[in-house]
């Protein structure tokens, strides 16, 4: 159906360096910074009123939003999706085929920082802007395509990749979620869930497709992947359906929230956070369920009422969800240190980096042979002040014939940890040409 007009599971962050032109292992880059604090935990894109409002994630009832980006200067038109990366909010506009980018704590009638729009973009009724690995993944409902841009793109730019064509089985895609090297797509008119490789390009068949009578899918719209499960809302059947992340074919769901008690009505967006499911409903509400709920159950709470200003709520994004948490940690890590490199010495390897933040208690250095099973090899290293001076660590146990991965654990003032860069030091080599790329991955200690 076409209208007129995304867990508390810890992820380590690994920054891989490319030395002497040899790629150790990269999956993309990051952009934007954490900057000032984001005012609202929960962001909602309102399709009918061309605005994006933010609420506290614990809000209940008829509450006013904390911020509201709205007005002619915003260029928002048919807000379909919202995604917060670093301290920037990316908004997919269905009515004018654009992606507008704001500061995440913007409020009022303010112009975007940049806009992706124009004939070269291939945007055609974009419904979402999902960011992963430094790229923006956009489902185009009218274009039956997934277009991929760089997170820093601006203007009338061509996408880096486009998944489109008869073999893709894309039919009015609405929702997209990227995790574990895969793109999960909710096919609205196709009544299916498609799974592609994150690097797919062109007219390529999906790796898996959940489709058929047993799936109980009709018009899936929003999609979220968490805890090994796929959560999808169906706007026609007014339901939340849950599958295993590896499901394929005509499979029955594991659970399904549906019925009069749920008060779900025309759901469009969905997010999972801290054991709860948040979904937007086109009847101007946001309903919240337990992540394990099943059947005709009442929501735990709802954001509803005139004060909320909800008007055709579509996309939803929560700061602190698995995606936002990982991306925010990546940006924090990026700001923790810079100019990291290594140098071969007579006794081993010297690691060094400059400090970019002052709110740090210190660093620990970890080492591994194959990028896993890291062991801590340094005491707490007290950082120099953040004026460009280097912090050093000498690993005198580096054999001449061995190659090692190193990564830096940043101990923040609040005692939280940020896992920063991993550098690959090959035997008998020094770093002459270095370029940075970033990767989110699970790392075993």
- In a shared domain, residues 376 and 298: no
| Same domain flag for 336 and 314 | no
Please, which residues bridge with residue 100 across strands? 91, 115
State pLDDT tens for residues 266-295. 999 999 998 999 999 999 999 999 999 999
pLDDT at 382: 75
Q: What pLDDT, on a 0 to 100 scale, did the predictor assign at position 283?
A: 96
Q: What is the CATH number of the domain that holds 47?
A: 2.130.10.10
Q: What is the pLDDT of residue 274?
A: 86
Q: What is the pLDDT, as a whole number, of residue 409?
A: 80
The Cα-based distances of 260 to 146, 216, 285, 291, 295 in angstroms read 34, 17, 15, 19, 10
The β-bridge partners of 239 are 234, 258
Place of tokens 């400059």: 354
Torsion of the alpha carbons at 216, 219, 225 and 228, rounded to the nearest 10: 10
Please give the residue range of the domain that contains residue 131.
39-318
In this predicted structure, what is the pLDDT of residue 129?
Answer: 96
Which burial class, exposed, middle or buried, applies to 411 when counting CB atoms under 10 A from its CB (0-12, 13-18, 19+)?
Answer: middle
pLDDT of 361 = 74
Residues 200 and 308 in one domain: yes
Give yes or no: residues 287 and 377 share one domain.
no
Lowest mean pLDDT among 207-221, 268-282, 402-416: 402-416
Confidence of residue 314 (pLDDT cuts 50, 70, 90): very high
Statement to judge: residues 312 and 341 lie in one domain? no
In 3D, which of 121, 124, 125 has the Cα closest to residue 158?
121
Q: Where are the alpha helices (DSSP H) in 296-373?
A: 322-336
Whether 357 shows a pLDDT value over 70: the answer reads no
Q: In the structure, what pLDDT confidence band is assigned to residue 48 with cuts at 50, 70 and 90?
A: very high
Does residue 49 belong to any structural domain of this protein?
yes
Q: How confident is the model over 128-147, as a mean pLDDT?
A: 95
pLDDT digit string (tens) for 234-251?
999 999 999 999 999 999
* Same domain flag for 311 and 333: no
- Statement to judge: residues 313 and 363 lie in one domain: no
Domain boundary (318, 353, 373) is at 318
Q: Is residue 28 part of a domain?
A: no
Whether 304 is in a domain gets the answer: yes
Considering the domain architecture, whether residues 217 and 292 belong to the same structural domain is answered as yes
Instruction: Please identify, among 318, 343, 371, the residue that sits at the C-terminal boundary of a domain.
Output: 318
Q: Beta-carbon neighbour count of residue 158 at 10 Å?
A: 13
Same domain, yes or no: 366 and 306: no
Half-sphere exposure of 62 (CA within 13 A, CB side): 3
In a domain, residue 15? The reply is no
What CATH code is carried by the domain that includes residue 410? 2.60.40.10
Q: Which of 294, 318, 342 is the last residue of a domain?
A: 318
Q: pTM for the whole thing? A: 0.68
Does residue 406 share a domain with residue 334? yes
Residue 205: inside a domain, yes or no?
A: yes
Residue 324 domain-assigned?
no
The answer to whether residue 200 sits within a structural domain is yes
Query: Is 20 inside a domain boundary?
Result: no
Question: 257 with 333, same domain?
Answer: no
Structurally, the chain folds into a number of domains equal to 2
For residues 190 and 295, membership in a common domain is answered with: yes
Q: pLDDT (tens digit, 9 = 90+) per residue, 363-404?
A: 888 888 766 677 888 888 877 655 556 788 888 776 655 667
């Amino acid at each position: 159906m076409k209208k007129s007009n995304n867990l508390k599971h810890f992820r380590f962050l690994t920054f891989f360096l490319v030395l002497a032109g040899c790629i150790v292992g990269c999956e993309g880059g990051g952009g934007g910074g954490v900057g000032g604090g984001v005012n609202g935990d929960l962001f909602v894109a309102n399709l009918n009123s061309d605005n994006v409002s933010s609420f506290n994630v614990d809000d209940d009832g008829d509450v006013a939003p904390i911020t509201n980006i709205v007005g002619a200067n915003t260029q928002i038109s048919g807000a379909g999706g919202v995604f917060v990366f670093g301290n920037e909010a990316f908004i997919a506009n269905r009515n004018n085929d654009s992606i507008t980018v704001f500061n995440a704590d913007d409020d009022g009638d303010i112009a975007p920082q940049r806009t992706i729009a124009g004939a070269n973009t291939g945007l055609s009724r974009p419904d979402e802007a999902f960011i992963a690995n430094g790229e923006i993944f956009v489902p185009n409902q009218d274009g039956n395509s997934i277009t991929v841009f760089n997170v820093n793109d601006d203007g009338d730019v061509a996408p880096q990749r486009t998944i489109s064509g008869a073999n893709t089985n894309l039919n009015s895609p609405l929702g997209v979620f990227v995790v574990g090297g895969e793109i999960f797509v909710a096919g609205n008119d196709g009544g299916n869930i498609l799974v592609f490789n994150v690097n797919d390009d062109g007219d390529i068949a999906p790796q898996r497709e959940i489709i058929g009578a047993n799936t109980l899918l009709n018009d899936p719209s929003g999609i979220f992947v968490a805890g090994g499960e796929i959560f999808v809302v169906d706007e026609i059947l007014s339901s939340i359906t849950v599958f295993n992340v590896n499901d394929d074919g005509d499979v029955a769901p594991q659970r399904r929230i549906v019925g009069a008690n749920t008060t779900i009505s025309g759901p469009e967006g969905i997010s999972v956070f801290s054991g709860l499911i948040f979904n937007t409903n086109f009847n101007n509400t946001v309903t919240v369920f337990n992540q394990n709920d099943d059947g005709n159950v009442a929501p735990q709470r709802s954001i509803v009422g005139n004060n909320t200003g909800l008007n055709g709520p579509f996309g939803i994004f929560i700061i602190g969800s698995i995606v936002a948490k990982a991306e925010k940690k990546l940006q924090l890590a990026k700001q923790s240190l810079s100019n990291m490199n290594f140098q071969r010495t007579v006794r081993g390897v010297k690691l060094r980096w400059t400090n970019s933040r002052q709110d740090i208690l210190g660093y620990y250095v970890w080492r591994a042979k194959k990028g896993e099973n890291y062991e801590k090899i340094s005491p707490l290293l007290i950082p120099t002040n953040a004026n460009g001076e280097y912090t050093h660590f000498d690993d005198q146990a580096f054999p001449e014939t061995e190659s090692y991965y190193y990564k830096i654990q940043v101990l923040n003032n609040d005692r939280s940890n940020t896992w920063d860069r991993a550098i690959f030091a090959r035997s008998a080599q020094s770093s002459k040409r270095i370029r940075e790329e970033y990767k989110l991955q699970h790392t075993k200690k």
